[in-house]
Amino acid sequence: QSVLTQPPSASGTPGQRVTISCSGSSSNIGSNTVNWYQQLPGTAPKLLIYSNNQRPSGVPDRFSGSKSGTSASLAISGLQSEDEADYYCAAWDDSLNGLYVFGTGTKVTVL
């Protein structure tokens, strides 16, 4: 039921920069801010980026987010082995009575 589209996978070697895209529509990304969650294997999701480009306390500054129109991106610079995880974008969708929608998820592999 995901209405936000992400590539299923992305990869890079340690130290490289990896970018993940998130495509939505006018009712979600186009109207509201985008958030990103990191889910390490076997753990609960963790808030990584909120309000398009804000990092919660404790999140390294090598994670950055951006938004343009109905799309958003998450960039990981200086990729590290501990960054191997699933990443989900998310946003509020104003359609119907409103609902919170997640992206399809991207598995990041550190080669």
Partner 1 sequence: QVQLQESGPGLVKPSETLSLTCAVSGYSISSGYYWGWIRQPPGKGLEWIGSIYHSGSTYYNPSLKSRVTISVDTSKNQFSLKLSSVTAADTAVYYCARLVRASGTYYFDYWGQGTLVTVSS
Contacts with partner 1 in 14-73 (CB under 8 A)? Answer: 31-33, 35, 37, 43-47, 50-51, 56
Smallest distance from partner 1 to CB 46, Å: 7
Q: From the list 20, 74, 101, 110, which residue makes contact with partner 1 (rule: CB under 8 A)?
A: 101
CB 63 within 8 A of CB 49: yes
Provide the binding-site residues for partner 1, judged by CB under 8 A.
1-2, 31-33, 35, 37, 43-47, 50-51, 56, 88, 90-92, 96-105
